[in-house]
Chain A
């Protein structure tokens, strides 16, 4: 029965409708896989066995009644950042100990409306702050991929490390994730999975624990491009409860697959060729260019001159917003409380004990750049640079470019507890160098696996699109997927 976990969402949906197996059997196959392997991967921080079976039985009833939704009976993992009613929701932080929301996030509610089944909550970097899943209060997640001939444990990337690892290790059919600076695309690239961060406003942020509100956006991580298209269709919606969600129809993204690239113009930004980037990333990029050219696309060199300033601007804007968003964790309304000698001491002790190092670091940076006398020099300057970053993209799109092709990450997955990264926070931040520009400009970006490096580890390419043109990204990513093939981690667990 464990073969069921190898099916894509599209395959499983067809077989469920054909009554080849039941939704309960499919869910039980995943629960069995999780029970056998989660101790190894630490991908789930909570497994909702009973709820999953209950939802699967309800799916079977709807299938029998001919009322199957688009995701009927499909078992999904949910990043711990999404509020799930009555179920563990802690953003992988100690400060939210015991928090079980009385409400459901809009994104997950949309998935349940379409018939999906929740397997549990997925590990992540604390409050989505990290690029390796090592800042989680629940400990690191292991990547199912290992270098050839090595048994060193690698990170799955972050912050959606649990999502990416669970999808790659067949512990869910697909997963929700979120992306503030690269947190969907970098882990997807590190695990050989497909991840899309849609345009800002495409998915409602309501009920998603806030990190940096002007950058946060939900999206799926999936086994292939088609599954990512199916999941995004269900996740996206306009929402009265999120004023930044957009009132635009959600297209059937799968209809964009298999369309020709003839007449499309793909931009290659020269600024994404960074110093110290491994030769094989450049080779992979050239390979991607060749595939798209073969598929009929026109390739043009473009310039995005403010690219190098995106990461430093991000490390002002994101911590500033985070310091404000995380002010609500004060030991009064939810989660952890550490007693103090007065109320201020209670706040300070609670936040000292409840937040991990990286989260404290970012709150401190944010508080500093917003403090009196520094606001203009840091925050306003960064927001002006952000305008210029967005303008760079607008200029190339106005010149007729339909999508931009770049590497997804500057390297393949690195080891857990990497000494260089631990010693210098900026080294870790550089993981997002190719992805962060997309958040700063609010654009959609997709990471699609494109090859393996000399160590046998997956590498991804990124496509960046115009606002709300996710269809173009799915169409183009599908061409890369067809050419590159799919990559599965050799099973060692």
Chain B
């Protein structure tokens, strides 16, 4: 499978990365090189093989259902580019 410039532009939109027409053109070539490389996986017979979900045998650990952390609003927003009263500030979303 290979991608064209329109697909690259659509994927960039999904990934929320602004791309210029020139970027999209260049990325199309690069992505096709990589997709061409991974193509060889199709020659592997995977019938009856389960996809990997964990490399080590694990069972989900549980903890006591209790509040163990929190009240760190100031820490949470400390590194944000724009905040007000411990809220993240973003451009207006609702008209």
Interface residues of A (CB under 8 A from B): 98-103, 199-201, 214, 240, 243-244, 246, 306, 308-309, 312-313, 315-316, 323, 327, 330-337, 339-340, 342-349, 351-352, 355, 360-361, 363-365, 367-368, 371, 374, 377-378, 380-388, 390, 424-426, 429, 440-442, 467
Q: How far is the CB of A93 from chain B (nearest CB, A)?
A: 14
Inter-subunit contact A387/B34 (CB<8 Å)? no
Nearest-neighbour CB distance to chain B for A343, whole angstroms, equals 5
Q: Can you list 22 A-B pairs, Cβ within 8 angstroms, ordered by A?
A: A201-B58, A214-B55, A240-B63, A315-B37, A316-B41, A330-B16, A340-B91, A343-B91, A346-B91, A348-B17, A351-B17, A352-B18, A363-B15, A367-B14, A368-B11, A368-B31, A381-B44, A384-B44, A384-B49, A385-B44, A385-B46, A426-B37
- CB-based contact B81/A335 at 8 Å: yes
**Which 9 residue pairs spanning A and B have beta carbons closest together?**
A442-B55, A383-B51, A337-B81, A348-B18, A352-B18, A334-B79, A384-B46, A102-B75, A386-B52
Besides A315-B37, A382-B41, 10 other CB < 8 A contacts?
Answer: A244-B58, A309-B41, A334-B81, A342-B91, A361-B31, A364-B17, A371-B11, A381-B41, A381-B46, A426-B34
Which chain A positions have C-beta within 8 A of B39?
312
Residues in A whose Cβ lies below 8 Å from that of B51: 380, 383-384, 386-387
User: Which of B11, B38, B39, B53 gathers the greatest number of chain A CB atoms within 10 Å?
Assistant: B38
Give bound CA distance, A101 to B82, whole Å. 16
B21 interface residue (CB < 8 Å to A): no
Chain A residue contacts of B27, Cβ below 8 A = 360-361, 364
Interface residue from A333, A343, A385 paired with B79 (Cβ < 8 Å): A333
Interface of B is mostly: loop
Q: Hey, what's the 0/1 contact readout for B57-95 against A, CB within 8 Å counting as 1?
A: 010110100000000100100111110000010111100
Nearest B residue to A468 via CB reads: B56
**Across the interface, which residues of A come within 8 angstroms of B35, CB to CB?**
365
| B window 16-55: CB within 8 A of A | 16-19, 27, 30-31, 33-35, 37-42, 44, 46, 49-55
Taking a contact as CB atoms under 8 Å apart, the answer to whether A378 and B88 are in contact is no
**Cβ-defined contact, A316 with B49, below 8 A:** no
* CA distance in complex: A131, B92 (Å): 41
Interface centre among B1, B3, B31, B79 (most CB of A within 10 A): B79
Taking a contact as CB atoms under 8 Å apart, the answer to whether B34 and A315 are in contact is yes
Roughly how many angstroms separate A298 CA and B34 CA in the complex, as a whole number? Answer: 40
- A425 and B41 form a contact (CB under 8 A): no
Q: Which B residues touch A378, using CB under 8 A?
A: 38
Chain A binding surface SS class: helix
Q: How far is the CA of A101 from the CA of B75 in the complex (A)?
A: 9
Residues of A within 8 A of B15 (CB): 323, 351, 363-364, 367
| Residues in B neighbouring A201, C-beta threshold 8 A | 56, 58
With A102-B78, A315-B37, A378-B38 in contact, is A351–B46 under 8 Å at CB?
A: no
Nearest-CB distance from A245 to chain B (Å)?
Answer: 9
- The answer to whether B56 touches A332, judged by C-beta atoms less than 8 angstroms apart, is no
A contact residues around B37 at 8 Å (CB): 312, 315, 426, 429
Task: Report the Cα distance A383→B50, complex, angstroms.
Answer: 8
Partner of B52, one of A101, A309, A383: A383
| In contact, A309 and B40 (Cβ under 8 angstroms) | yes
Please name all residues of chain B whose beta carbon is closer than 8 Å to the beta carbon of A377 when the two chains form the complex.
Answer: 1
- Chain A hits for B58, CB < 8 A: 201, 243-244
A339 / chain B contacts, CB cutoff of 8 Å = 91
A200 to B57, CA, bound (A): 11
Are B79 and A98 in contact (CB-based, < 8 A)? yes
A101 to B27, CA, bound (A): 33
Is B55 a contact partner of A200 (Cβ separation < 8 A)?
yes
Question: Which partner residue on chain B sits nearest A358 by CB separation?
Answer: B30
Do B81 and A390 touch (CB < 8 A)? no
Q: Which residues of A contact B16 (CB under 8 A)?
A: 327, 330, 344, 347-348, 351
Interchain CB contact under 8 A, B56 and A246: yes
* A425 adjacent to B30 (CB under 8 Å): yes
Q: How far apart are A271's CB and chain B's nearest CB, in angstroms?
A: 14
